[in-house]
Structure 1
Amino acid sequence: MVDNFYEGQKLHLLEDPSIQMTVFRVEPNAVVVHRWLDDYRYVNERYTDLEGTKAVVGEGWD
């Protein structure tokens, strides 16, 4: 379970563990992650529903 987000934290989607993310920045009401497309490419995604996000991600990479 993900209690709090912190920079550099590795996350994955619970529904599809192959979707990996790294927390880039933690804001007061949002978290910004790098969602990895491959080893070198990523897109930035910003989530403002922190509790909803915590419900669909797990910590670590497989």
Structure 2
Amino acid sequence: MLLDGVGFLVAAVITYNLGVQLWTEILVEYVLGFLFGWTVFQALFHEEQVRHLPRPESSGT
């Protein structure tokens, strides 16, 4: 997914500037890539679910 790549790039920039070891960098990139993709996927799926919920009728009182 596209946003996994965004997570990888963000993590790469952060870990490069912090100067962490290679294995730490790989782990952080993997975790952030997963979290970016998962978060956006969940948000889009939730939006689709909410869009199809019936709207409450206004009582007009």
Please state which band the TM-score falls in when normalised by the shorter chain: under 0.3
Task: Judging by fraction of residues, say which structure has more strand.
Answer: 1
The structure with the largest alpha-carbon Rg is 2
Given the two structures, how large is their TM-score scaled by the length of structure 1? 0.24
Task: Judging by fraction of residues, say which structure has more helix.
Answer: 2
Given the two structures, how large is their TM-score scaled by the length of structure 2? 0.24
